[in-house]
Amino acid sequence: MKKARVKRTPQPLKRRIKRWALRVLGALLALPVVLTLLYTVVPPYSSLMLYRTVTGQPVWRKWVPLNEISVNLQRSVVVSEDATFCLHGGVDWPAVRGQVGKLFDGKRPRGASTITMQLAKNLFLWNGRDYVRKALEVPLALLLDGVLSKRRLLEIYLNVAEWGPGIYGAEAASETFFGKTAAKLSANQASLLATALPNPIARNPAKPASGHRRLAGINRSRAQVAGEVLNCISALER
């Protein structure tokens, strides 16, 4: 005797949509974790590099390990972008609180982004100055700092930073602007590259404008007296 088939009651549309939305949300939350673990050993591409590749625009990047990037450039970039790189856990909370206070006072806040926060933006987010992106940078930076060593963070940052249209990473930038490898950069050249980072499209390290030269001079002087801004990266590792 055949058993009667039990008809399944179709799930309400709202329930199915909610289930799929939760799955998508779970995947989006898990993706940065999976990628960060992968980036402990795999050289990553930035989101901007991927966008340019997908849209058929040229991308030039040569990945090199940190010990093949001049310490001059390492120091200059840390002094310029995040002098407390070795002291915080991905987010410089006093700087963030200061900028939030300015916002509540009706003043225009200025960047409190650490190198780790900038790296979070480069790897996972988009360019722009909107507050949604800035808010997302914080948990992503904490994730990166919790999984990756300081050495690896700086290594990735210097290999994905944009130094001009389609030019990514210290090696490609060094060869483009100075005709030499990143390992051979002088202190002056390193400062010109470091101070180009906030505006890599407009600032040409090989042909710096007067304002760019002034910023590079200030950076070079600060880098010389900055002390152990790289003390979280041992001499053996460098």
Angle CA 218–222–228, to nearest 5 = 160
pLDDT of 72 > 80? The answer is yes
The values of phi and psi at residue 108, to 5°, are: -80, 115
All structural domains of the chain, each given as residue ranges with its CATH number in brackets, are 47-225 (1.10.3810.10)
pLDDT of 75 > 60? The answer is yes
Terminal Cα distance for the chain, rounded: 78
d(CA 35, CA 202): 31
Give the three-state DSSP class for 186: coil
Q: Give me the pLDDT at residue 126, please.
A: 87
pLDDT of 105 > 70? The answer is no
Q: Give me the pLDDT at residue 4, please.
A: 55
pLDDT per residue over 10-34, tens digit each?
567 777 787 777 777 676 678 899 9
Q: Give me the pLDDT at residue 106, please.
A: 63
d(CA 84, CA 88): 6
Q: Give me the pLDDT at residue 127, please.
A: 84
pLDDT per residue over 140-192, tens digit each?
999 999 999 999 999 999 999 999 999 999 999 999 999 999 999 999 999 99
d(CA 204, CA 67): 25
Q: The whole model's pTM is what?
A: 0.88
d(CA 199, CA 179): 21
Q: Give me the pLDDT at residue 128, please.
A: 76
